[in-house]
Structure 1
Amino acid sequence: MGPWPVLLVTAAALHAGFQLTVTLLAYPALVEVAPERFARAHALHSRRIVPLVGLVYGFLAVACLGALLTAPGSAAVWVAGAASAAAVLVTALRAAPLHGRLGREGPGPARLTALVRADRVRTAAALVALVAAVAHAVVLQVTR
């Protein structure tokens, strides 16, 4: 087994752990911030998390691309790549715009609910990607 299956599992695990941390810790804390303190809390959250998102998504992109190029016939690799891409797309097309609105307009209940829902989709996609990445690695190990 070459390095790409291991890198894919590592990147998918990092991504899933990151998403679970956002889902279980960061967003619940953000939702509970009093309205008069929300703008500052949201700005700090955004400033702190953006570099981490870039790092996690960058590593994930490299690992998925490498795995796809070295194992284009693996359904599990395609599932991991598609699920990872889905999480990134939900971030770009739903969560990021919602964060922009939260920064400009404040913590409306509908905006916070929409953000939490989008985050659950991202987390589910990240977990699917992790399961698929592990399945790919296991199949490679068993068939050696």
Structure 2
Amino acid sequence: MTTADVLLLTATAAHLGFQVTVTALVYPALARVPAQQWEFAHNAHSRAVVPLVAVMYGTLVLTGGWTLLSGPGGWTLVALAAVAATFMVTACAARVHGRLSAGHDREEVRRLLRIDQVRALTAALALVASALAVR
């Protein structure tokens, strides 16, 4: 177990806490916004969440980079792969958010919720693999 592994574990735990909050509370609340209030609600959500996402994902990039430079192996590589998968899924969510910024679309909202569930799964996998790396 290295310091980098412990920091990656801490970052993936914080990320999963953030992600579960988004999946269980934030996105379902956003999905319930009536179409006529969508633009205001979606814009307010975007303004509020972007700084948090920047901190959370920036932390994952820094700890992941340090871990890579430390010569990871085994479960740490699995954790890093799961973090990378989370980033790819987040890119998909960002594209949907972009389309939703143009207006409410029930199918796009459903797509966002499904993508977000996958993102929560990859975040959970990253935490489990990180925990196995430090055991």
Shorter chain as denominator, the TM-score bin is over 0.9
Aligned pair count?
135
CA RMSD of aligned residues (A): 1.0
Match of 2:100 among 99, 102, 105: 102
Do 1:12 and 1:133's aligned partners in 2 also have CA atoms closer than 8 Å? Answer: yes
Cα distance between partner residues in 1 of 2:133 and 2:67: 10
For residues 80-134 of structure 1, what are the alpha-carbon distances to aligned partners after superposition, in whole Å with 9 as ceiling and x for unaligned? 1111111111111x10011011111x22111011101110111100000000000
Cα distance between partner residues in 1 of 2:78 and 2:15: 15
Q: How far is 1:69 from its partner?
A: 2.0
Q: TM-score, normalised by structure 1?
A: 0.90
Q: TM-score, normalised by structure 2?
A: 0.95
Tell me the secondary structure at the aligned position of residue 5 of structure 1.
Answer: helix
Cα distance between partner residues in 2 of 1:8 and 1:41: 33
Q: Any unmatched runs of 5+ in structure 1?
A: 139-144
Amino acid across the alignment from 1:15: H
Cα distance between partner residues in 1 of 2:97 and 2:70: 36
Do 1:71 and 1:77's aligned partners in 2 also have CA atoms closer than 8 Å? Answer: no
For residues 41-79 of structure 1, what are the alpha-carbon distances to aligned partners after superposition, in whole Å with 9 as ceiling and x for unaligned? 10000011011111100101111121222133x221111
Query: Relative contact order: is structure 1 or structure 2 higher (C-alpha 8 Å, sep ≥ 6)?
Result: 2
Q: Any unmatched runs of 5+ in structure 2?
A: none
Bigger radius of gyration, 1 or 2? 1
Partner of 2:63: 63
- Structure 1 moving runs of 4+ over 6 Å: none
Cα distance between partner residues in 2 of 1:118 and 1:2: 33
Match of 1:132 among 116, 129, 133: 129
Do 1:64 and 1:80's aligned partners in 2 also have CA atoms closer than 8 Å? Answer: no
Equivalent positions of 1:34-49 (< 5 A) are: 34-49=34-49
Cα distance between partner residues in 2 of 1:36 and 1:108: 11
